[in-house]
Amino acid sequence: MKNIVLAESAGFCFGVKRSVEMAEKLLSSEGTCASLGQLIHNDDVVHALEEKGLRVIDSAAEAKPGEQVIIRAHGVAPSVYEALEEAGVRITDATCPKVKAIHTIVQRAGDEGRFVIIIGMREHPEVVAIQGWCRDCAVFENPHEVQEWLEKNENFWEKPITVVVQTTQTRNNFNECCEIIKKRCTNAKISDTICLATFTRQEEAASLAAGCDAMIVIGGKHSANSLHLAQICKELCSNVQFIERTDELDLDRLQDADTVGLTAGASTPAWIIKEVRNKMSDEIKIEESAVEKELSFDEMLEETLKTIYNGDKVTGTVVAITGTEISVDLGAKYSGFIPTTEFTDDGVKVEDVVKVGDEIEAIVVRVNDVEGTAMLSKKRLDAVKVWTDIEEACDNETIMEGVVTEENKGGVVVNVKGVRVFVPASQTDLPRDAELSQLLKKTVRLRITEVNKARKRVVGSIRRVAQAERRERIENIWNEIEIGKKYQGVVKSLTSYGAFVDIGGIDGMVHVSELSWGRIHQPSEVVSVGDEIEVYVINFDKEKRKISLGYKDPEANPWNQFTSRYQVGDIANVTVVKLMPFGAFAEVLPGVDGLIHISQIANRRIAKPEDILTVGDVVEAKITAIDEEKHKISLSIRALAEPAPAAAVVADPAEEPEEGSGEDALVYEVSADGQATGVAPEEAEEE
C-alpha cells in the first residue's frame, strides 16, 4: 500500500448533518429528547447521543406527553404526525427537505388522480414514509420487479402514472426501471428525486474503484446509501471492504494494493473516517501531510455548517423540481428552495427553463434556522444584475432592446430585462400627431438617458438610436452609391412630375418618364405612397445630395423588344392612337409608336386622316423605315392596298380650265419606299 485516495464527498450528507445538529441543540436546551426511530444509521453516533440524553422510541405510543420528539431525516407518514399530536408531544421535524419534496410530488399526484410508482428499498423508512403520502402506489426495488408487474397489469399502461425514486438509490437502477416504464406506459411523469449528494458520492466511488487496487467503504450495515456504495465498488474492484468502524479494517488484505480508495456513506461521522484513514496511514508509515493535502474532514464539516444570511448571494445545484418549488443544494447546512412561479410568469414550463443538475445563482430572501431551509430568489438577483447593466448602459451609451408594454401619459413604457423604462413621446421617433399605440408589443432599440435607482425611474430614447442608425445608413449609401445600383425603397410622396422614394434614409426622385415605358399622365397611375418598390440609380450628385432614380426595367425596354422582333418590310397589326393633320400615330407594341403619313393611309388622295381612320382602329401596316438613332418608325397602309385602276378619260376641250382660272392641281411623286410628296404644276415645270 503506497497511496491512499480520499473521496471528497465521503461522510455526512446535508440531511444527516442537519438532524444530528438539531438533536444536539435540543439536548443542550432540554437535557433530554426522543427520536422516532434510530436518528441515523450509525450505532456509534446514536450511542453518543444517547449518552447525552437522547432516547430512541419505535412508535408514538412510547412518547411521553410534553416530550420533544425528533422526526428523523427519513420522514414519516401523515398518520404518524397525527399520532404524535394525539400523544401530546412537541415535534421537531428533521425530515430532509429533499425527502419532503418527494412527499409533495406524490401528494399532488394523488390529488390529480395519478398512480404512484416508487423505486426504492421496500422496507426502508424513507420509502415507508413516502407510501404514507400516496393514495395509490406500488414499490419496486429493481427493473425485474417493474417488468413483471407491468406484464401482469396491462390496464396501467395508459393510466396517468407518477414515478419517484428513493433519494439514496443508484442511478443505474433508477434509469433501467424508467426505461421499462417509458416503453409501456404512455402517460408517465418521471421525477428524478435522487439526492445530488448521493449521486455525487456514488460517481466518486465508481471513479475511485475503477482506478484503485482496493476500496474501503465505511457505513452502517442498515444504511441504504452505504450498501449501494459497497455494491458499486464491488462491481468495479475485486478487493472491497465494507466496514462500520476502525476495528473491522483488515490491513492484511491491503498489503499488495498500491493504491487504496476510501469513501463513506451519508451516516458516517468525520471522526470515524479519520480514524480509519489514520490507521491505514500509520500502518504504511506515511506522514499525514503526504496522505491528505486537502482540508481535513473536520474542516470540511465546519465549512458545510457555515451560516448564511438574508441578502447573501449564493450558488447551488438544482436537486429536485416539483410543481411549486425548485430545491437547491447550497453545500451548507441549509437546503434552499425557489418558488417555481419565478420561472413561469410568462407562461413557460419550468422544466424548459431549469433542470436537475443545473448550477444556479440566487439571493437569500429568508432563512429558517429551525427547519434548516432558505428561501431564495433568482428574480431578485437578476434584477440586481439588470440594474447594474442599466446603469452601465446609461454611462456608456449602450443600445438596449426591449418590448413596448403600455402607452402612458406623454409616452410609452418599454420592458428592458424586467425594468420599466419610460420613453417620452418626443423620443419615440414617431411623427408629432402619430398614435403611440402603434408601438405596443413591438420590440424596440433604445438608449438609456436617465437612471434614478432610488426612485426606480429609468428614462430612455428610441429616437436617438433611430437617428444614429439613419445617419449611419445614409453615409453607407453615399459611400457605396454607383450608377445602376439597385435599392429596395418606399414611396414617400408623389408630385405631378414624379415620385420621391426613400432608399434607406435618403430620398431619390423617379421622374414620371422613368416610371413606365407606356404612356402615363400622373405618377399615381403606377405607384402609391407607401409602396415598396425596387429602383436603380440613373444619376447622382454627392455635393448637392441629389439622386435620380429609375423604376422602369431596362430589360423591358419596348424599343429593344421591337427591334428584336421587327425589321423594315415586315407587316404588323397596329392600333391608331392619335390623329394629326399630317397623318396618324399607331402603336406597334406597348410603348412603341410609328407614323402613318397622310399620303400612306390610302391609295388615293385624302383631305385628312380621319376621313379613313378613327382612334382605336386596328389595321395592318407595312414597316417602311426605322430610325435607330431617333427611335422613329414609318408605317404604310397604302403599301398593302390594291393599286387604284387608271380611268380612261377623253378630254373635253370645253371642260379644260381656262388660263388663269386658278384651279391648279397637285402633282404627286411617290418614292420607291412608298413616301409621297406633292408640288404645284409650275414648280414641276421649273424642275
Nearest partner of 221 among 260, 265, 252, 253, judged by Cα: 265
Q: Where are the alpha helices (DSSP H) in 483-599?
A: 558-565
Per-residue model confidence as pLDDT tens digits over 447-479: 999 988 778 889 999 999 988 888 888 888 888
Model pLDDT, residue 369: 66
DSSP secondary structure code for residue 466 in this structure: H
> What tens digit of pLDDT does each residue of 165-184 get?
998 888 889 999 999 999 99
Catalytic residue (choose from 8, 21, 126, 472): 126
- Among 249, 209, 251, 250, CA closest to 228: 209
Which among 248, 284, 288, 243 has a CA at the least distance from the CA of 262? 243
pLDDT score at 333: 64
pLDDT digits (tens, 9 = 90+) for 556-565: 678 888 888 8
Supply the mean pLDDT for the chain.
Answer: 83
Could you tell me how many helices (H) and strands (E) the chain has, helices first? 17, 34
Residue 164 predicted with pLDDT over 90: yes
- The strand order across the sheet containing 33-36 reads 54-57, 33-36, 68-71, 90-93
Name all domains of the chain by residue range, CATH numbers in brackets.
1-96+204-285 (3.40.1010.20), 306-381 (2.40.50.140), 397-466 (2.40.50.140), 481-556 (2.40.50.140), 558-640 (2.40.50.140)
Q: Find cell 428533521 and name the residue.
A: 94
Reported as a single tens digit per residue, the pLDDT across 505-548 is 888 898 888 887 777 788 888 889 988 888 888 899 888 888 99
Instruction: Return the closest-CA partner of residue 124 out of 30, 228, 242.
Output: 228
Confidence (pLDDT) at 460: 92
Q: Name the E strands within 249-298.
A: 259-264
Is residue 134 very low, low, confident or very high in pLDDT (cuts 50, 70, 90)? very high
* pLDDT-based confidence at residue 195 (cuts at 50, 70, 90): confident
Share of the chain above pLDDT 70, in %: 87
Q: Rounded to whole angstroms, what are the CA distances from 260 to 203, 213, 263?
A: 17, 6, 10
Contacts of 386 by beta carbon, 8 Å cutoff, 6+ apart: 416, 417, 418, 419
Q: Is the pLDDT of residue 233 over 90?
A: yes
pLDDT category at 641 given cuts 50, 70, 90 is confident
Task: Encode pLDDT of 138-161 as tens digits.
Answer: 999 999 999 999 999 999 999 999
Is 669 an annotated catalytic residue?
Answer: no
Task: Give the C-alpha separation, 622 to 569, whole Å.
Answer: 6
Reading phi first (left if > 0) and then psi (alpha if -120 to 50, else beta), residue 93 is in beta
3-state secondary structure of 121: coil
Cα gap 262→7, rounded to integer Å: 6
Measured between alpha carbons, how far is 273 from 394 in angstroms, rounded to an integer?
Answer: 56
pLDDT bin (cut points 50, 70, 90) of residue 79 is very high
| pLDDT above 80 (res 108) | yes
By percentage, how much of the chain surpasses pLDDT 90?
33
For residue 139, what are the β-bridge partners? 118
Q: Is the whole model's pTM more than 0.85, yes or no?
A: no
DSSP-derived letter for residue 352 is H
- Would you say 168 and 230 are in contact if contact means Cβ atoms under 8 Å apart? no
Can you give the pLDDT at residue 644? Answer: 56
Distances, alpha carbon 398 to alpha carbons 25, 216, 387, 402, 619, in Å: 54, 59, 14, 13, 71
pLDDT in tens, 582-637: 999 999 988 889 999 999 999 888 999 999 999 999 999 999 999 988 889 999 99
At 494, list the grid cell. 408623389
For residues 216 and 668, the model is more confident at: 216
Top pLDDT among 37 and 345 is at 37
